[in-house]
Amino acid sequence: MKSEKLDLNTINPDTINSGNLGNIMTAMMNQPPKGSIMLDKTLLPSRGKLYPDTPLYVKKLNPLNVKNLAVINSDNINKVINNVIATSIWGGPNFDYNTIYTGDKLFLIFYLRSYTYNDMPFRLRGECTECGNICNYDFTLSNLDIQYLDDDVPEYIELGNGDRIKIAFSTIATENAVNQLKNRQDVSIEINPELLELATYVKSVNDNDLSLFKAYEYITELDAMSFSEFANTISKYLFCVKPEAKFKCPKCGEDIYLPMPFVSSFFLPTITR
Ligand SMILES: [Zn+2]
């Protein structure tokens, strides 16, 4: 998180009294930002499994975050979300927000909205596909439809062709690499976005680390049987938030799923007191 106000009260008085500016600055940088709380990482779609063992802190959305989220559209969505994460998540003085996993990003946005507004319900209206009942539903964080990484991730996936693939999971840094590759002028072959996404899961093959482009080439050159095996195995370890809310129809008890719109009134709710 950037542009934090320095809070001298949280620093050991001995450090301050020492008058050593370097020590004081180091002590400051090791402090979680003022007003932040520790995130329970098991709430994340990844269950926090892939992160280092150090705590992550979250801070309420600031007015600039809220203003940006309220005007989100398909062109700016990634930039806005990454910016919100950069300013609201802190994991220590050397923390790089680019290490946040792609599958956790959307959850963090919903979580931050919930934390900022004390999980204020957001009203949705929907129809039950089973019995046709139309009614209002109040969305809170617990209604979010989350696909968790509950299985332990194996160190390697072994394919029938004998290849041992070490798998990686996409982070914000990976997304940036994907966008760069898509825009590279010197790549003359046509890049298939789905295959490129699959390539992001390949860290190494038979202990040879592959660049994203090499991983893409590897995926495109697999025989169909091995490709299918890899794609199916990976699909077991996907984690994400679907921008959908899950409710039970009060009339027939059937599960109903309603799309969660990213609209201004969700991020700038009417506050009544
Ligand atoms: Zn129903």
Task: Look at 21 and 141; give whichever has higher pLDDT.
Answer: 141
258 CA → ligand 1 middle, Å: 13
146 CA → ligand 1 middle, Å: 22
141 CA → ligand 1 middle, Å: 22
Residue 106 confidence (pLDDT) above 50:
yes
CA torsion angle 87 92 93 97 (round to 10) = -40
State the pLDDT at residue 3: 47
Overall average pLDDT of the 262-271 stretch = 88
117 CA → ligand 1 middle, Å: 30
Least confident of 102-111, 180-189, 202-211, 240-249: 180-189
95 CA → ligand 1 middle, Å: 47
State the pLDDT at residue 26: 74
Spell out a b/e string for 46-71, using b for 16 or more CB atoms within 10 Å of the CB, else e: bbbbbbeeeebbbbebeeebbebbee
Overall average pLDDT of the 124-129 stretch = 94
Global confidence as pTM? 0.87
Residue 45 confidence (pLDDT) above 90:
yes
Task: Look at 186 and 207; give whichever has higher pLDDT.
Answer: 207
Q: Where are the domains of the chain?
A: 13-116, 156-235
Least confident of 24-28, 99-103, 146-150: 24-28
State the pLDDT at residue 12: 72
- For the chain, what percent of residues have pLDDT higher than 70? 94
